[in-house]
Amino acid sequence: MRGWAVAPRRALWAMACGIGLAMGHVPAQAAPEWTIDTLMQLQAQTKSSRATFVEQKYLSSVETPLESSGELSYQAPDRLEKRTLKPTPESLVLDKDTLLLERKGRKRSIPLQSYPEVGAFVESIRATLAGDRAGLDRNYQIELEGKRERWRLLLKPLHAKAAAMVSQIRLSGQGEQVETIEILQGNGDRSVMTITPLPSAP
């Protein structure tokens, strides 16, 4: 772990890797044709959700994957939280255009404008959560594979700076539920997150 001085960029990257699609359950309706727009419409129906996550990071510098776990939450349209419980407690909250980082009792506020290359990536993930197809089209080449019962959404960055950081994002699931998020980094490292939804609060 590097020092607090590099925490802003690391924190933004962790948030970008972790926030993706902590979706809740959307009530079942008559099944329309399964397209990107259909998936986005389901995303837009989710106004708030909570989930647990287990994330494994495969790094070229270590032989075994690094594992972390915790909780994700989303409040439409622009509040996201990744709360890591193991191995080291940490809280990352993206509220509008500001990232709030808390680690080991220390807090820091980081404006997204200070890190535009990562901020653009975070905004694209947030557009996915909001079901904002136009926002995704501005930043990614989008491809949807499979059927409603088992599908995979592929996102490839259109802009060089973003592509240098992330070569591809792969989201897999069934119906309205996202189950795994795989992020392939430009340097060959990758992370795989498994998401399990939590019941909605009464």
pLDDT in tens, 68-93: 999 999 888 888 899 999 999 999 89
Whether the ω angle into residue 87 lies within 30 degrees of 0, i.e. cis, is yes
Q: What is the maximum span of the chain, computed from C-alpha positions, in angstroms? A: 52
For residues 14 and 92, is the Cβ–Cβ distance under 8 A? yes
Phi, psi for 168 (deg, rounded to 5): -165, 150
Tokens standing for 45?
């129906």
Q: Report all structural domains of the chain as residue ranges with CATH numbers, in order of start.
A: 4-197 (2.50.20.10)
Phi, psi for 56 (deg, rounded to 5): -120, 130
The pLDDT confidence band at residue 154, using thresholds 50, 70 and 90, is: very high
Query: How confident is the model at residue 198, as a pLDDT?
Result: 87
Cβ atoms within 10 Å, residue 23: 24
Q: What pLDDT digit, counting tens, does each position of 23-77 carry?
A: 555 555 556 689 999 999 888 888 888 999 999 999 999 999 999 999 999 888 8
Q: What pLDDT digit, counting tens, does each position of 161-202 carry?
A: 888 888 999 989 887 788 898 999 989 999 999 999 988 655
pTM of this prediction exceeds 0.95: no
Query: How confident is the model at residue 2, as a pLDDT?
Result: 42
Query: How confident is the model at residue 168, as a pLDDT?
Result: 92
Average of per-residue pLDDT across 98-106: 89
Average of per-residue pLDDT across 88-105: 89
Question: Rounded to whole angstroms, how far apart are CA atoms 63 and 197?
Answer: 30
Cα-atom radius of gyration of the chain, to the nearest Å?
Answer: 16
The pLDDT confidence band at residue 96, using thresholds 50, 70 and 90, is: confident
Asked if pLDDT for residue 11 goes beyond 70, the answer is no
Of 34, 54, 94, 163, the closest CA to residue 102 belongs to 94
In this structure, the chain runs to a length of 202
Find the helix or strand (DSSP H, E) in which 162 lies. Answer: helix 160-165
Asked if pLDDT for residue 4 goes beyond 50, the answer is no
Asked if pLDDT for residue 126 goes beyond 50, the answer is yes
For residues 66 and 56, is the Cβ–Cβ distance under 8 A? yes
Query: How confident is the model at residue 68, as a pLDDT?
Result: 95
